[in-house]
Amino acid sequence: MFIDYITLMLINMVAGLILLADYVNRGLVSANQKQWIPGFGITGAIALTTGLHMTFTWPVRGSFNIAFGETTVLFGTLFIAAAIALALDWDLWTIAIYAFFAGLVAVVVGIRIINLSITRTPVLSGIGFILTGLGGICAAPAIYWKNHRIWRLIGPGVLIIAALIWAFTGYLAYWSHLESFQQWVPAPIR
């Protein structure tokens, strides 16, 4: 049996996407930018830690480690960078540029998951990756046109739909993992 903490990664991403949707909707034009620092920091720390572990150790079977591990490293890095930038009053422009390329990775991974029929629900997972990636791709336009209300409505809408997909996937995975892992015993105790 393998160690599978993709559930934690998914629910962390749900929280991050909801926080980001709120930031795009209200925060881009808010005088109090610092209120998003703790949430972005927590999301980034969990994502970066789990993503790096998965990328370096490959605890789950096959290409799940690439799809979930590497994209989670990108996601976590973006959130930590955003938290630091907000704390130090730095401009978010370069983070948005990085988000564009990270978003492209998520879109490619989503298309490939559908193409290869990876995961139990490849179309739903693929769409989740694609929508999450679109959030990154649209970060720069959202920052550049932050005073245009349409960007502050469409962006959060896409992020919330992605979060709902990952919430559905993650909570169902928790439900099934509790059953499938109930007899698992760690190697030192065996």
Q: Two tokens at 67?
A: 């799809």
Per-residue model confidence (pLDDT) at position 86 = 97
DSSP sequence for 70-93: IHHHHHHHHHHHHHHHHHTT--SH
Give pLDDT tens digits for 147-179. 888 888 899 999 999 999 999 999 999 998 888
Average pLDDT over residues 10-29: 96
Residues 6 or more apart in contact with residue 21 via CB below 8 angstroms: 155, 156, 157, 159, 160, 163
% of the chain with per-residue pLDDT over 90: 80
**What domains does the chain contain, in order, with CATH numbers?**
6-178 (1.25.40.600)
Q: What is the DSSP letter of 37?
A: H
Nearest to 107 by CA among 139, 71, 78: 71
Give pLDDT tens digits for 109-133. 999 999 999 999 999 999 999 999 9
Amino acid at 79: F
Nearest to 142 by CA among 14, 20, 15: 20
Quote the longest CA-to-CA distance of the chain: 60
Q: Is the pLDDT of residue 4 over 90?
A: no
